[in-house]
Amino acid sequence: MVDSFTETTSKSWFSRIFESIKSVLVGLVFFIVAFPILWWNEGRAVRTARSLSEGAGSIVSSPAGSVDASKEGKLVHMSGAIATEQPVADEELAVQATAVKLIRTVEMYQWKEEQKSETRKKLGGGEETVTTYNYTKAWADGRIDSSQFKHPEGHENPEASQFESKTFVADPVKVGAHKLSPEQLGKLNDAVDFPIEPAGAENLPADLQNSFSVTDGKFYSGEDAASPALGDVRISYRVVKPDTVSLAAVQTGDSFSPYQAQAGDSILLVQTGNHTAAEMFQKAQSDNAILTWILRGAGFFLMFLGIFLVFRPIAVFADVLPLFGTMLGAGIGLFAFLGAASLSVITIAIAWVFVRPVLGIALLLVAIAAVFWLMRVGQRKKAARAAAAAPQLAPSAAT
């Protein structure tokens, strides 16, 4: 069953202009913040790349089966099978597994709100927004606060379950004779489903056996799992199984700690499977490159949004005629895109001058050339339009 409510709101042209003027301040903040993000990201990327290169040149192999005292304090690489000394357990619900981690997920059947808005411009500069609120019942982790719904009446969610989602970690977890550190364990997250046996309800504490049954490998609290009711609860599990793992870290006694590179970053690599040190560092360099481009995109988007918001009042002012305002808004968007692209490249290039001088200077020259080219193209188009608009005056013929 889906409940829907529709709400229509209107804004006058004057209120939209006032809001767009206030957004100029937000745009200026976005525009200014974009520069240090782009600058910092380039320094971070180079620092990480150099740290990884330093680590790749310093790492030594070490056996997993025994603690080699001669490797103490050194960056070591090893591969081996993960082992736990005893099962990891959820004592509240009497569930245990031979695993590195046991992950409990608690879901409740409850109301959730989804909204969809459609905005239309009106002649005279006003704006009308039609918002539809849809209410459906669904399984969700934790409790959704129904008091924050637009229409909470009739959509009140029950109180949260006495249990909450939680992760249980085995201790100790070893690779051969070496104990994995908490930070290394935090990097092991390849989990698979761990279904509860049908007789699992019999192992529950006595005060819970009448409240829960086992359905489809999950604990279920409710009348009918095939037709859940509001407030029903289901609890499922996943596990991170013991597996072969490859490590790159500083050997510290019978455990590990991060390697502090002179370039600035700390290194602690963990990968599931049997990988050479070269493969691990290559993967880390690839991950660094991906993160660099993600942050570049974030910096560019902030700059683009900042420029657009600064010039947005112009488009709103022109919305007295909606078609004209839409066309002007598209033009401002294109200007913001080109401006953000040019300024982002220039910022990155200047940052590279400090960390990668040769590449930085070359990129800076290319960026400046591109900006001048865009300016020249704009001037030529402007001159061409002016020439086409000028009246063609024919010379007077002598009589």
pLDDT digit string, tens, across residues 79-137 = 999 999 999 999 999 999 999 999 999 999 999 999 999 988 888 888 899 999 999 99
Q: What is the pLDDT of residue 382?
A: 67
Of the candidates 196, 194, 240, 235, the one whose C-alpha atom is nearest the C-alpha of residue 101 is 240
- 207-237 in b/e form (b: 16+ CB < 10 A) is ebeeebbbbeebbbbbeeeeebeeebbbbbb
pLDDT number for residue 2: 60
Compare 145 and 16 and report the one with higher pLDDT: 145
Strand (E) or helix (H) holding 112: strand 101-121
Which helix (DSSP H) or strand (DSSP E) does residue 111 occupy? Answer: strand 101-121
Higher-confidence position of 66 and 346 = 66
Query: Residue 254: left (phi > 0), alpha (psi -120 to 50), or beta?
Result: alpha
Q: Which residue has the higher pLDDT, 158 or 375?
A: 158
Report which secondary-structure segment, H or E, holds 128.
strand 127-141
8 Å CB contact between 59 and 75: yes
User: The tokens of 376 are what?
Assistant: 């020249």
pLDDT of residue 164: 95
* Per-residue pLDDT at 399 exceeds 50: no
Contacts of 88 (CB under 8 A, 6+ apart): 96, 97, 98, 99, 100, 101, 102, 168, 169, 170
Q: What is the pLDDT of residues 313-361, one digit of tens each?
A: 988 888 888 888 888 889 999 999 989 998 998 888 888 877 767 766 7
> Which pLDDT score, from 0 to 100, does residue 396 have?
47
Query: In this structure, is the dihedral angle defined by the CA atoms of residues 277, 278, 280 and 285, taken in order, positive or negative?
Result: positive
- Residue 302: how many other CB atoms lie within 10 Å: 22
Residues 6+ apart with CB under 8 A from 231: 108, 109, 110, 158, 222
Residue 155 φ then ψ, to 5°: -130, 35
Instruction: Tell me the three state secondary structure of residue 244.
Output: strand
Distance in angstroms (rounded) separating the CA atoms of residues 318 and 322:
7
Report the Cα 340 to chain-centroid distance in Å: 22
Mean pLDDT value of segment 359-378: 72
Cis peptide before 205 (omega within 30 of 0): no
Q: Which residue has the tokens 């927004």?
A: 129
Higher pLDDT pick, 247 / 358: 247
Residue 317 burial by CB count (10 A; 0-12/13-18/19+): exposed, middle or buried?
middle
Res 390: pLDDT? 62
Question: Is pLDDT above 80 for 61?
Answer: yes
Give, as one character, the DSSP assignment of residue 161: P
Q: What is the predicted pLDDT for the residue at 350? A: 85
Read off the amino acid at residue 194: F
User: What torsion do the CA atoms of 259, 260, 262, 265 make, to the nearest 10 degrees?
Assistant: 100
* DSSP state at residue 98: S
Find the mean pLDDT for residues 357-372.
Answer: 72
Q: Would the pLDDT of 155 be above 90?
A: yes
pLDDT band at 153; cut points 50, 70, 90: very high
CA 320 to centroid of chain Cα atoms: 39
What's the average model confidence in pLDDT over 248-272? 96
Cβ neighbours around 88 below 10 Å, total:
21
Q: Give residue 183's pLDDT.
A: 96
Across 154-162, average pLDDT: 93
More confident residue, 251 or 124: 251
Per-residue pLDDT band at 377 (split at 50, 70, 90): low
Q: How far apart are alpha carbons 153 and 158 in whole angstroms?
A: 13
CB 344 within 8 A of CB 32: no
Per-residue pLDDT, averaged over 167-171, amounts to 96
Q: Which of 168-177, 221-230, 324-333, 364-373 has the weakest average pLDDT?
A: 364-373
Residue 310 corresponds to which tokens in the numbers above? 């600064």
Q: Taking the mean position of all CA atoms in its chain, how far away is CA 247?
A: 26
